[in-house]
Amino acid sequence: MKNRQCVVLIIFFLLFSLGGCGKGKAPSKKPMAEKVQTAGTKAESKEPEVVKPVELEEYKYDARGRRDPFLSLLELTKKKPTKKKGASPFESYEVEEFRLLAIASNKNKYYALIILPDKKTYTLTEGMALGLQGGKVEKITKDKVIIREFIQDYRGEIKPRDSILKLHKGEEE
């Protein structure tokens, strides 16, 4: 058993000692740095170099019906339309800023009482224009007001969006 261990140790020793010898390998030559010429000798030996102007290359994206991937989707939705001059108070605020206070009815017609952010109250009827996006009161029921606006999406397409003002905010259908 001891002999066996000694043989294994000798083999290990020989493998490690002979493995680092590098027989048959030629020493690799490393490239040496070129000698640096001084300014005086360079000017004497060669003609002056001509400096070529560098041309800047510009890349333009051609959308061809696709949206520009370099534009943020969020940036398009954050743009708020400007307030129109001479517009009614209804058309000076976003629909989300309106708060529904009450709904009253007269035979078959409903009226809605809303409060604007300027703390003034107004009465709405069906067909009235309101909101910064050119919205219109589509329908007034006993507990909600449906307002349809036409919004530009991230592709630039105009799509309808319905906003619902509920009499009691806790109610969900």
Question: Taking a C-beta distance cutoff of 8 angstroms, is the pair 150, 162 a contact?
Answer: no
> In terms of residues, how long is the chain?
173
Q: CA 146, CA 136: separation in Å to the nearest integer?
A: 9
Tens-digit pLDDT profile for residues 92-122: 888 888 889 999 998 889 999 999 888 889 8
pLDDT for 173: 47
Give the residue extent of every domain in the chain: 90-166
pLDDT for 170: 57
Q: Give φ, ψ of 78 to 5 degrees.
A: -80, -15
CATH class for the domain made up of 90-166: mainly beta
pLDDT for 36: 66
Q: What is the model's pTM?
A: 0.49
The residue-averaged pLDDT of 78-102 equals 74
Tens-digit pLDDT profile for residues 10-34: 887 777 776 655 555 555 666 666 6
**Would the pLDDT of 150 be above 80?**
yes
